[in-house]
Amino acid sequence: MKITEVEAFLGGGWAFVKVHTDEGITGVGEGGVAWVGRGETLVAAIKEAARYLRGKDPLSIEHNWQALYMGTFYRGGPILTSAISGIDIALWDIAGKYYKAPVHRLLGGPTRDKVRVYVGIGGDTPQELADNALKAVKKGYTAVRWAPFVEGYQRMRHCDVLRVAVEQASAVREAVGDKVDLCIDVHTRLTPIEAIAMARELERFRPFFYEDPTWPENISAMAEVARHVNIPIATGEHLYTIHQFAELVEQKATHLVRPDLTMAGGISAVKKIAAIAEAHYVGVVPHNPLSPISTAACVQLCASIPNFSILEYLTPERDEYDFIERRRPLGTPRKGDIVDQTVELENGYLKVPDRPGLGIELREELLKKMPYVGGTGILMIREDGSIAAW
């Protein structure tokens, strides 16, 4: 079997890869970074990779991965690894279909029957957050996540930022009780000392994890936060190589790694990242704010690793980020429509599918009706006019 063509196309806030073979088997994957305005750049990188892949064996997944990563003078970078990620996911989809088995069977078999997820909640006030948390719990979710800020936070004083976080966490914890996990996402908006201060205020509410408390470029800074707080740190969605993740866990900068399968090298690389984490007793919480293709790939990986903790999940009816949903023209399909079926959700868990490959197929005819709305990035301005972290 040989690869005959590699397609790359955009739709909604996403970038997809479709790999064709001379035996008629196709595979679909998804590359990251498109949702933050880098879709066209990513598509160009995928098309460049296609020049190498044509004529190659799609079942030589690791060999192809190494060729795409190592076969260049400049390695790494989120654009290149996102392109490789989408291709890698598509090749695993082909392998599963070729061997008539779900991908997790090819990765060593399932370690679980279902994958626990958390869902994001929003609200302009603590009460709205609490109400939305209760709605999620009534739908069967056992964990909720939000960012403990309000609009205009970047122009607020330190004490007010802490007060808002405490009021929100207090309201949500009181509403849902102790049987629901609270996941608090700082979105890298704080300096290390600010992140430590906020964590100490929030410890009393017993969060399941404290996500991306500070900027990701400096792993030593993340380790400093981890040493001074009593909440599990979850981070890694901005990282894109196994070497970065190895440094992250070796410096004890996190308790839960958050690799993004669409950016950190696909199923092949994230399986290795999970093994590195396992050796350090670190759990895996994949970053998954993208399309149902990303979710399907995550479920296959999560089913196969022993140190999986919980998966980020966006319902098929909505987009995580309002800037994408606001730009979706009226009458165009929502993201759940772009696949033939979504992974089944039941009481806060995704059932591990047994269909070959990823278990879902992209509906390209609907995707064509969804113009790309990745935007130009995310920009936050402080009151003095300087740039703030998102």
Q: Does domain 3-104 have CATH number 3.30.390.10?
A: yes
Q: What is the mean pLDDT of residues 203-222?
A: 96
Q: Among candidates 306, 264, 254, which has minimal Cα distance to 286?
A: 264
Active-site residue 187, yes or no? yes
Indicate whether 193 pLDDT > 50. yes
Annotated catalytic residue: which of 104, 187, 238, 243? 187
Beta strand segments in the chain, E: 3-11, 14-21, 26-31, 114-120, 143-146, 181-185, 209-211, 233-235, 256-257, 283-284, 311-313, 345-346, 349-351, 380-381, 387-388
C-alpha dist (Å) from residue 175 to 141, 210, 314: 14, 20, 22
Q: What is the DSSP pairing of strand 26-31 with strand 283-284? A: unpaired
Give Cβ neighbours of residue 265 (< 8 Å, ≥ 6 apart): 65, 69, 81, 84, 85, 88, 240, 241, 242, 272, 273
> Could you tell me which CATH class the domain 108-357 is placed in?
alpha beta
Tell me the two tokens of residue 311: 């998966």
Range 16-29 burial, b when 16+ CB lie within 10 A, else e: bbbbbbeeebbbbb
Indicate whether 176 pLDDT > 90. yes
Beta bridge partners of 31: 15
- pLDDT value of residue 337: 86
Query: pLDDT tier at 375 (50, 70, 90 boundaries)?
Result: low
Q: Give the residue carrying structure tokens 């008629």.
A: 24
- pLDDT value of residue 335: 78
Query: pLDDT tier at 387 (50, 70, 90 boundaries)?
Result: confident
Tell me the two tokens of residue 50: 């296609």
Q: At what angle do helices 78-99 and 292-304 cross, to 10 degrees?
A: 70
- pLDDT value of residue 322: 46
Annotated catalytic residue: which of 20, 104, 255, 287? 287
Tell me the two tokens of residue 374: 């990745």
CATH 3.30.390.10 segments of the chain: 3-104
Percentage of the residues of the chain whose pLDDT score is greater than 90: 83
**pTM score, two decimals?**
0.95
Q: Give the Cα separation of 300 and 298 in Å (integer).
A: 5
Q: Is 114 helix (H, G, I), strand (E, B) or coil?
A: strand
Residue type at position 96: G
Q: How does pLDDT run across 213-235, given as a tens digit for each residue?
A: 999 889 999 999 999 999 999 99
Of residues 113 and 369, which shows the higher confidence score?
113
- pLDDT value of residue 320: 45
CATH 3.20.20.120 segments of the chain: 108-357
Active-site residue 287, yes or no? yes
Q: What is the DSSP pairing of strand 380-381 with strand 143-146? A: unpaired
- pLDDT value of residue 317: 64
Q: What is the mean pLDDT of residues 233-243?
A: 97
Indicate whether 53 pLDDT > 80. yes
Average pLDDT of the chain, as a whole number = 93
Indicate whether 143 pLDDT > 70. yes
∠208-143-217 over CA atoms, to 5°?
50
Query: pLDDT tier at 48 (50, 70, 90 boundaries)?
Result: very high
Q: Give the Cα separation of 214 and 222 in Å (integer).
A: 6
